Chains A and B, each alone.
Chain A
Amino acid sequence: MLNTLIAVSLAYVAALFLVAFYAERLASRGRGAWLRSPIVYTLSLSVYCTAWTFYGAVGSAARAGLEFLAIYMGPTLVLIGWWWVLRKIVRIGRSQKITSIADLISSRYGKSNSIAVIVTIMAVIGTTPYIALQLQSVTLSFNTFLVESDASSGLYDAQSTAFWVALGLAFFTILFGTRNLDANERHHGVVTAIALEAVVKLVALVAVGVFVVWQVMGGVSETFAAIDASEINMWNRDAGRWTGILFVSAAAFIALPRMFQVMVVEIDDEKHLATASWAFPIYVMLMSLFVVPIAVAGLQMFPNGANPDLFVLTVPLAHGWNSLAMFAFIGGFSAATSMVIVAAIALSTMVSNHVVMPIWLKWSSRDLSVAGDVRQIVLISRRLSIAGILALGYFYLQLTGGGAALAAIGLISFAGVAQFLPAMIGGIFWRAANRHGALLGLITGFSVWAFTLFLPSFGPDALISKEIIEEGLFGLSWLRPNALFGINGLDSLVHALVWSISLNTLVFVLVSLVTFPNPMERLQGAQFVNVYDHSVEASSWSKGRAETEDLLLMSQRIVGANEAQKIFRAESERQGMLGYLPDTTPGFIQRLERELAGSVGAATAHAMIAQIVGRSSVSVDDLMRVADETAQIMEYSSQLEAKSDELARSARQLTEANEKLTNMSVQKDAFLSQISHELRTPMTSIRAFSEILESEGGLTDLDRAKYAGIIHGETLRLTHLLDDLLDLSVLENGQVKLNITQGNVADIIDQAISATHFSKDQLRIARNRADEDFAVTTDIDRLSQVVINLITNAAKYCENDAPQLEISVRSVDELLTLDFIDNGKGVPTALQDEIFEKFSRASDRAAGAGLGLAICREVMANLGGQITYLPGQSGAGFRVTLPAT
């Protein structure tokens, strides 16, 4: 029978290999959609049900009543609440290409490798005994058959069974778990094999259960009667422990490395969670359905002494159902192997990504683009890690020698990984959670767990001395492992859970509150907490220094040539380029980092890219650049503003010019009617008087002379007007001939005053002749024409009872200025611009063609000087400037 068992086991293992191989082949060819179905996903979650639960649940039921149910109910709670927590973890896992739970936590806290290392170490410490437990269960179950068949030869002793099982598992795991460094880190072969094992173990347990209920007990009602009659009825009624187990199993379901591997890393589609949310609870419910009947049957059959952990095997065996027992053995074997395989993959990923690779990177500080094949190194380190982890489990089993201490390790291990929970849940729901808080919280929780639960579990004087257990650390009674801070009488698991989780959470929260996260952490925190908000994009790489070709070379070494080229090609297309070398935009480097993270973990990928790009995180420089960009934008907008101001000014000037033109046009019209009037008036009188002279007889000589005088005067006026117009026209066209001579300003003014010969009543002229003694080289006649004009204007327009004109002459900076200021009302501001225009008249008070000032302006312009209106004086003020000689 033993040989049959070995043959069946080997055949089963061979079948597993075939299934894994076939699935791997299908997946690599892109076929086999069923491999990615929600049912396979749900079944793969069954790595939760290990040999410990397969055999141990019955044992636990026989010893402690319904406690085992709580271990299955915890995961049920997590799954039916998937929308809350699991969905978010899975979404984060997919968007950040998370490879393990250590990767998740370290990514969240700024890709800190120290956190990853701590989590990895904790996971290894928590999982190794668990692997040992699986090896032990296979050994024990195998030995059951050994005893039955009396073949106690040296070949089949317990140690060698464990050894061969460990070796075979290592081989399988290495073969299918490190087959490729997939960017998605999925192992279709392994997952399919696990799903098959899930079916086998469920069917095996249900088969034994059906056998017990209907064959051994004789029906359902009889079974319940037997249950109520059995000693299990006296189940351990400890509400605290019951709730504690519910909690710790729920926590472990999320935080166990192997669960994280199948649930988050290997998931193909987020929608699978929706199916698993009800399908997996059905699975675990079926797993636990027949546990109590089997335990009761076992207790009935073996009243004293027999190991209740093996009832699943011994009950069918005792009834002579050897094939069923063998099937049950295969079921237990499945449970053990699937757990070991997935745990080894998960742990090896963590160890190689967070311990080996960083050390290797540091050790080989060479340029990554020319260094050896990283891909190969990652694979080798994974394979070695798998072998190492299984060896660790095997030696652990050898050292502790198995037994009850090991059986208790299941819940202890759960409590250990539950320490990840505060950092994990806090990290995805609380943005302010930071690295220091997570690190210290993890260390605190882990230390308390080790001190109160893990170390004492080996018994006194095994790992910690008896004195410490009985009298407390350093002899302080409030530091006893079973009664921390004086809390006595609690169940040791509950005691350890309460203290480790609460202190862990407390330290995590308090430290997070008082310390400050670095920019990388804050970016990652925002991405994790707001993972449903796709717009959040952390930019952590600066453009420029990364050489695309180096990046391509490095990527090829990590994800393989084809995959790397595909990524680069896609990026080229995205950028609208041909070929394989896209621009190294920050966005591209970030996407590339994610892809690489899928193979070697976030922290390592980040460090590797940092070696090539040269910048490893969000630095002050990055923030400064962001600030610079802002400054540039602001500068640009201020330039725009200036431009628009300029435009507004031009527009205003144009408007002014337009107004002036309109005004002038109006004035011109006014002038035309004025000049018509001016011309008409003398013409009318000339015509009238000349008609009188012509037709009327009997005029006296006196009258005739008088009329002729009027005609003559009017003709002079007309001539004068026409002269002015002609003069202006000549001046404007620059055709004037200047007669430049030497002269004296005082003489010129004297001459002008005498030419105007106004009486003192008409205009009093105030001047200081002594101050006017300046020599000037100019056209004297023209200059005096200007002065005459100004004096005449003052006489004409000054509105004062005693009109007065003050003339002052100065020489400033090579310029001679002559100011003419009267004591009238001055020129209204609105008209000051226009008075120098032709035909412009400031008032209608005196008749005039409005040409005087226009002529003055033209004359001065021809003389190389100018005439301006001088505002802010007692009356109208004009300033004539001309270059001094």
Chain B
Amino acid sequence: MDEKKRLPVFLERSSYRRRRARDASRVLPVLSLFLFAYPGLWALDGENGIVLSDALYFLFAVWCIAIIVAAILSRYLSEPVIGEHELSDLKAGE
């Protein structure tokens, strides 16, 4: 990791959080896509007792969780970052 080469070794807590929020903001849509597409896979099973309301419960639950996580992340992501800082942060965070 880049962090190891940098001084000081550990980032300030807030910028560490911000970077992990960026990581999470990339993971979130991918994970959500998988979960949203998941009911499509149930179809392969055929008759296994899953009814429409189960699918509705599942999809809306996933939806709610995704929204809540997005709302939490947006607080970290929208914190003002100044100019070049942002660039170096981005580079270091990746």
Contacts and interface: CB of A to CB of B under 8 A. Distances in A.
Contact of B41 (A65, A230, A239): A239
A660 interface: no
Contact of A237 (B33, B42, B56, B69): B42
Interface of A, helix, strand, loop or mixed by DSSP:
helix
Contact of A77 (B33, B39, B52): B33
B52 A233 contact: yes
Interface centre among A76, A84, A238 (most CB of B within 10 A): A76
A233 B53 CA distance: 8
Nearest to B53: A224
B36 to A, nearest CB: 5
Given A271-B78, A277-B74, A235 B29 contact: no
B32 A76 contact: yes
A278 B52 contact: no
Interface in B23-58: 25-26, 28-30, 32-33, 36-37, 39-44, 51-53, 55-56
Contacts, number: 109
A281 B70 contact: yes
Interface centre among B26, B63, B64, B75 (most CB of A within 10 A): B63
Interface stretch (A66-74, A373-381, A499-507, A822-830): A66-74
Given A79-B70, A84-B29, A285 B77 contact: no
A282 B67 contact: yes
B28 A239 contact: no
A292 interface: yes
B22 A83 contact: yes
Contacts of A232: 52
Interface in A220-240: 224, 227-228, 230, 232-233, 235, 237-240
A282 B68 CA distance: 10
A515 interface: no
Interface string A674-714: 00000000000000000000000000000000000000000
Interface string A48-81: 0000000000000000011001100100111111
B11 interface: no
Nearest to B57: A224
Nearest to B76: A274
A81 B52 contact: no
Given A77-B32, A281-B63, A84 B37 contact: no
- The range of chain A's interface size is 35 or more
Contact of A70 (B36, B51, B71): B36
A239 B37 contact: yes
Contacts of A285: 60, 63-64, 67
A639 B39 CA distance: 76
A587 B74 CA distance: 36
A532 B89 CA distance: 11
A812 to B, nearest CB: 74
A274 B55 CA distance: 29
A228 B53 contact: yes
A281 B56 CA distance: 16
Nearest to A530: B87
A232 B41 CA distance: 18
Interface string A73-97: 1001111111110000000000000
A533 B22 contact: no
Contacts of A163: none
A667 interface: no
B77 A83 contact: yes
Contacts of B39: 66, 242
A66 B59 contact: yes
Given A83-B26, A285-B64, A532-B86, A246 B53 contact: no
A77 B30 CA distance: 8
A604 B55 CA distance: 51
A243 interface: yes
Nearest to A87: B77
Given A83-B25, A274-B74, A65 B36 contact: no
B7 to A, nearest CB: 24
A275 interface: yes
A845 interface: no
Contacts of A534: 83-84
B90 interface: yes
B77 A80 contact: no
Contact of A73 (B30, B36, B70, B78): B36
B87 A532 contact: yes
B52 A237 contact: no
B43 A80 contact: no
A272 to B, nearest CB: 9
Contacts of B28: 80-81
A65 B59 CA distance: 13
Which 9 residue pairs spanning A and B have beta carbons closest together? A237-B43, A81-B29, A239-B40, A274-B78, A278-B71, A242-B40, A274-B74, A80-B70, A83-B25
Given A239-B43, A281-B67, 14 more contacts: A66-B56, A66-B59, A69-B59, A73-B59, A76-B67, A228-B53, A237-B40, A237-B43, A239-B40, A243-B37, A271-B78, A274-B78, A277-B70, A532-B86
Interface of B: 22, 25-26, 28-30, 32-33, 36-37, 39-44, 51-53, 55-56, 59-60, 63-64, 66-71, 73-75, 77-78, 83-84, 86-87, 90
28 contacts: A66-B55, A69-B59, A76-B32, A77-B32, A77-B36, A78-B29, A80-B28, A80-B67, A81-B28, A83-B22, A83-B77, A227-B53, A228-B51, A232-B52, A233-B51, A233-B52, A238-B40, A239-B37, A274-B74, A274-B75, A277-B70, A277-B71, A278-B71, A281-B66, A282-B67, A289-B60, A532-B86, A534-B83
